[in-house]
Structure formats: structure tokens, C-alpha cells
Amino acid sequence: MTAPLTNPGGADARDADDQLVADVFARGCGSRRTLENIAGKWGILALSALHEGAYRFNALRRRVDGVSEKMLSQTLQALERDGLVRRDVQTTIPPHVEYSLTPLGARVAERLIDLIELVESELGTVLAAQSEYDRAAADRNRRK
Amino acid sequence: MTAPLTNPGGADARDADDQLVADVFARGCGSRRTLENIAGKWGILALSALHEGAYRFNALRRRVDGVSEKMLSQTLQALERDGLVRRDVQTTIPPHVEYSLTPLGARVAERLIDLIELVESELGTVLAAQSEYDRAAADRNRRK
């Protein structure tokens, strides 16, 4: 990300020149789409939950409070395609499907957990900023 | 995030008991909405760009390739409300508006940059996983 203009062709340009640098700031770069899969609301929560250990689908859905079956399914599929999540079909009767992190998924999840822990620990600061912002906005409206 | 069930009431419950722990896994928790503002596609890119230094709106829009004026404006407003971004109106002629990170915004941005650098550096692994996934899916379709 320190070389914004070196990869104007994005992921497609990699074939032509492997020296090109991935750059999430470039709209065509494949790294941006992966970042979106990871950092979408449900991507973050699914990866962080799976860092606690493998989950079956329904247990993961309970852990990630509020996610619909469809959204969790789409999220896991995108993360599996990106090589961050493994999907294992176990040959039990009835068979069941378990999701876990790949080594790269675990490295990504560690960074997400750092971020989550910071946001959780600073929630007081955030809530105070929100109150102040809303108060100032209300003042401005009153003066209009 | 290690205490999934301690904060069922989310942010609203903080008034009743400040010992409650912020938990992004709980759908009502205020930390989850902040995480969404940070980690939405444009939130990540705007915060990471601002970590390079202050930007005026149009320069930031050029840096975050592909963002619309409306989306960038909404993103910055949400981040300002959360206390992560400062908006300074400079009394030049014509006046102009500059955006920069607050101290908390800088700490958040550092973690986002860690994540971005990992994703960029592992883009080859991700692209290989995608090819393998798509090849396996095509095989399954062919056998149907």
C-alpha cells in the first residue's frame, strides 16, 4: 500500500509482471476484494469466532449473533474460496460439516482480534465522542 | 470478546452496570456498529489513507480509488462521530476542510494497516486458493 500507482491493472496485471505490487487502494486489485470478504461485518465476526476453534454451521451461527443463514453461508463460501476457511465434511451419521481456519486464516484472524479488542476496550471513548457529536449537531440545528 | 454472554443488553446496558463488557459478537453492542464503520470497505481505506497524513476531501477521494463522493462523505461522517476522524475547517479563502486521524483513529488505523499488509503480501496464496476452489467447483458441475 506504499506504492499506490505501481499496480494500475490490478490482479490481472500480475500475469504480465510478477514484480507488480498488490495495492488495496487501486480499485482493480484482487487484494481489495479479499479485504472486503475479510472485513465485511460478517467476515470479521466469522473469522474471529473460528479463531476460538472449529465450529459446525449452526453453532457458528449462534456465536455470530444476528447473522442470517444465507449471509453466514455466503460469507463462509467467500472465505473458503480465498483460502482462509476450511470446510470439512465429516463422515459421521448423519454427516456433518465443520468449519475451521487455514494457517493464513488464523494469521488474518489474529489481526482482526487485535482490532476488535481495541474497539471493545475503547468503546467508552467512542460513545463519548458520539454524544459530543450529536450534541453539537443538535446545537447547530437549533441555531438555524 | 472472550465473554460472549455477559452483555446481552448491548450498549444500552452500560448505564445500568458499567462492569458489563463490550462484546462485538452480541448484536446489540455498540462496539459492533463502530467495528462496522471502521471495517466497512471504505472505512478501512479512508482510515489507512489518513494514516499517511491529513487529506482534503477531494485528495482523499482520489487516494481511495473508486469511492463515490456520497459514500466517502458518509464514511467520514460516521468515523468523525465515532471519534476516529477529525474534521477541521480552515479559515483560508476559499475555506477548505481537512480530515485527519484522532489518536484513537491512529491506533485503529495501525491495526488496519497490519491487516492490509498481510492481505497484500499473501495475495498470491489467496489467488491460488481461488483458482483451486473454482477448478473444484467446475469439476463438481461437470460430474453432475
Residue A55 lies in a domain: yes
pLDDT surpassing 70 at residue B9: no
Residue A103 lies in a domain: yes
Instruction: Say what the pLDDT of residue B1 is.
Output: 52
Residues comprising chain B, all counted: 144
CATH assignment at residue B136:
1.10.10.10
pLDDT surpassing 70 at residue A11: no
Question: How many folded domains does chain B comprise?
Answer: 1
- In 3D, which of B116, B15, B82 has the Cα closest to residue A34? B116
DSSP one-letter code for A50:
H
Residue A107 lies in a domain: yes
In which band, very low, low, confident or very high, does the pLDDT at A91 lie, cut at 50, 70 and 90?
Answer: confident
State the smallest CA–CA distance between residue A83 and chain B in angstroms: 5
State the smallest CA–CA distance between residue B32 and chain A in angstroms: 8
Distance linking the first and last C-alpha atoms of chain B:
43
Distance linking the first and last C-alpha atoms of chain A:
43
On chain B, the residues whose CB falls within 8 A of the CB of A120 are 1, 21-24, 31
B47 inside 8 A of chain A by CB: no
A11 versus B50: the higher-pLDDT residue is: B50
The answer to whether the CB atoms of B127 and A30 lie below 8 A apart is yes
Q: B75 is in which domain, residue-wise?
A: 40-143
pLDDT tens for B47-61 read 999 999 999 999 999
In which band, very low, low, confident or very high, does the pLDDT at A9 lie, cut at 50, 70 and 90?
Answer: very low
pLDDT tens for A61-90 read 999 999 999 999 999 999 999 999 999 998
Instruction: Say what the pLDDT of residue A4 is.
Output: 42
Instruction: Say what the pLDDT of residue A20 is.
Output: 61
What the block records as the C-alpha cell of B41 is 470497505
Beta bridge partners of B85: B101
Residue A21 lies in a domain: no
Q: What ipTM does this complex have?
A: 0.80
On chain B, the residues whose CB falls within 8 A of the CB of A125 are 83, 104
Q: How far is CA A19 from CA A6, A11, B37, in A?
A: 9, 12, 33
Interface test with B, best of A115, A118, A125, A133 (most B CBs within 10 A): A115
CA distance linking residue B40 with residue B46, whole number of Å: 10
In which band, very low, low, confident or very high, does the pLDDT at B75 lie, cut at 50, 70 and 90?
Answer: very high
Residue B12 lies in a domain: no
Report the DSSP pairing between strands A85-90 and B55-56. unpaired
Instruction: Say what the pLDDT of residue A131 is.
Output: 95
A125 versus B13: the higher-pLDDT residue is: A125
Residue B30 lies in a domain: no
